[in-house]
Amino acid sequence: MAALSVDLVATDRRVWSGVAQSVSAPSINGQIGILPGHTPLLAVMRAGTVKVVAGDGTIFEAKVSGGFLSVDDNLVTVVADEITTPPDG
């Protein structure tokens, strides 16, 4: 199965970038999960937690303050106004 290529960007930096198995993000209508092969999507996000399961199975979590999310041809871009990563990550 194809993998997702994920970019997590905040206004002033790129927070995370790489290959992932799945992404979960807080869209305005509720948490949505994205797996490879998802239809193209543009969604507005509310504040919440973005969770990325990376290609090697490690999990990356970050809090976002709102923003949007785009999925196009297995390319996922999470664009947030502010991203706070947990201290260990």
Give me the residues that bind other proteins (CB under 8 A), please.
7, 9-14, 27-29, 32, 39-44, 67-68, 70, 72, 77, 79, 81
Task: Kindly report each contact of residues 71-74 with a partner whose C-beta sits within 8 Å and lies 24 or more positions away, as own/partner.
Answer: 71/34, 71/38, 71/39, 71/40, 71/41, 71/42, 72/40, 73/40, 74/2, 74/3, 74/4, 74/5, 74/36, 74/37, 74/38
Task: Tell the smallest beta-carbon distance from residue 34 to other proteins (Å).
Answer: 11
Nearer to other proteins, 30 or 57 (CB): 30
Task: Tell the smallest beta-carbon distance from residue 47 to other proteins (Å).
Answer: 13
